Amino acid sequence: MIHKTEDMISLPSDQNSSGRMLGDEEIKLLGEAIESGTLTSTKGTFVKDFEARFAEMLGVKRALCASHGTAALHTAYAAIDPEPGDEFVTTSITDMGALTPILYQSAVPVFADVDADTLNVTADSIEKVISERTKAIIVTHLFGNPCEMGEIMELARSKNIPVIEDCAQAFLAKQNGQWIGTIGDIGCFSLQQGKHITTGEGGIVVSNNEDLARRMFLFINKAWGYGDPNPDHYFLAPNYRMNELTGAVALAQLEKLADSVNTRIKLADALSDQLQGLRGVKTPRVSENSIHTYWRYCLNIDGAVVEEGAIGLAKTLREEFGIFSAPRYIQKPAFQCEVLRDQRTFGNSRFPFTHARPEACDYSPELYPGTFAGLESILVLPWNEMYTEPHVDDIASAISDSVRKLS
């Protein structure tokens, strides 16, 4: 069926100004940073201000900025200080930026399976892969939907294993009245172009644990003991500092975070309402005690009802309505990417896999039923705070029309 272009739906994109709340406030603070002449956060005030306000917002003792979300995660992993070959339990479905720093810190990722609907790890899937060498558990609150932290924390505390929350997609999400990112031992956030708020690149770590926070501060700063009586470079660490230009934009963006989150939630709820009862389509499953903040809006498509499942629906949405979506989110589980599958790390050494238990690197597909079922069914719709109710009405009718056509 050929449609005229005016039938095509044009949605705001988080890759440019159409889908981002960037404006005069950012320009003003950026100008102040430049006029101050101090662009390093070791001497300036913008990054420090942002850290103080971010910590206050989450009611957490310490927040520290880093250059990227990946750097923030690396900083958290370094604070745990694993021995070569120690294990970090993580998820098969996440951003590679959450995984490569595990290897850089000489630990190995061990993949827990995920729930096929939410694509989140669970206490059960984590427990299956915990070993005597597990040094940390990393949970990713995928798409902004919180993992079941009550059960996960109970498991982790019973084994005395620290929990790192990857909140790159879950700004201001909540569970049981607690902010996501403050339930585990460390929370990590990203300010990359496509997150809830952005500085293009940037990251944040938060913690209530002073020892972990101290180690994270040092790690971001080449482990130089700023302010100590006899400072030295205490251990191996990079420069992961955020600069003041980024800090200025981050400060302006922080003021807009609550609006971004509230709009995303309101419109996601509206879309879920409109899609209720559509056969073959499951709207996001959010547990009663959770607030999902919708970095993306995901559907689970039943391939037995909808012809060619998520892939067929994505194709129809794109060709007939101009709506882009991502079936599968990531094409394959992280452990099937070359870096992990072929252990391409440092030269030909395969380090740190050389120091790992063999079972830690068993990526047999039969161990990951939820992962493969989840990837098969998921359809990820882009989402941002510049969407409006008419956009949601258009998306809902496009999905309903497409699904009816494919059923």
Ligand X SMILES: *Cc1c(COP(=O)(O)O)cnc(C)c1O
**Cβ closer to ligand X: 113 or 394?**
113
Find the catalytic residue in 135, 174, 195, 256: 195
Name the residue number minimizing CB distance to ligand X. 69
Query: Does residue number 187 form part of the binding site for ligand X (CB under 6 A)?
Result: no
Name 151's Cβ contacts closer than 8 Å, sequence gap at least 6.
122, 123
Site string for ligand X, 284-323 (x = CB under 6 A): ----------------------------------------
How many residues of this chain interact with ligand X, rule: CB under 6 A?
14
In the complex, least distance from residue 315 CB atom to ligand X, rounded to whole angstroms: 25
48 is catalytic: no
Binding window for ligand X (CB under 6 A); candidates: 50-58, 161-169, 280-288, 351-359: 161-169
Q: Choose, by CB under 6 A, the member of 87, 165, 166, 244 that binds ligand X.
A: 166
How far apart are alpha carbons 301 and 270 in whole angstroms?
19
Site string for ligand X, 327-366 (x = CB under 6 A): ----------------------------------------
Q: Is the dihedral of CA 367, 373, 376, 381 positive or negative?
A: negative
In the complex, least distance from residue 69 CB atom to ligand X, rounded to whole angstroms: 2
Name 111's Cβ contacts closer than 8 Å, sequence gap at least 6.
89, 90, 91, 92, 129, 333, 334, 335, 363, 368
Nearest CA-CA partner of 41 in 19, 58, 65:
65
Tell me if the bond preceding 352 is cis, omega within 30° of 0: yes
Between residue 167 and residue 186, which ones bind ligand X under the rule CB under 6 A?
A: 168-169
In the complex, least distance from residue 349 CB atom to ligand X, rounded to whole angstroms: 25
How far apart are alpha carbons 142 and 286 in whole angstroms?
12
**Cβ closer to ligand X: 291 or 403?**
291
Q: Choose, by CB under 6 A, the member of 94, 106, 175, 325 that binds ligand X.
A: 94
Between residue 190 and residue 229, which ones bind ligand X under the rule CB under 6 A?
A: 190, 192, 203
In the complex, least distance from residue 254 CB atom to ligand X, rounded to whole angstroms: 16
* Measured CA distances, 4 to 1, 8, 72, 202, 323 (Å): 10, 7, 46, 41, 14
In the complex, least distance from residue 280 CB atom to ligand X, rounded to whole angstroms: 28
Q: Choose, by CB under 6 A, the member of 140, 182, 198, 402 that binds ligand X.
A: 140
In the complex, least distance from residue 164 CB atom to ligand X, rounded to whole angstroms: 11
Query: Does residue number 106 form part of the binding site for ligand X (CB under 6 A)?
Result: no
**Cβ closer to ligand X: 187 or 352?**
187
How far apart are alpha carbons 225 and 233 in whole angstroms?
7
**Cβ closer to ligand X: 101 or 352?**
101
> Annotated active-site positions, please?
195
Interface contacts to ligand X, rule CB under 6 A: 68-70, 94-95, 97-98, 140, 166, 168-169, 190, 192, 203
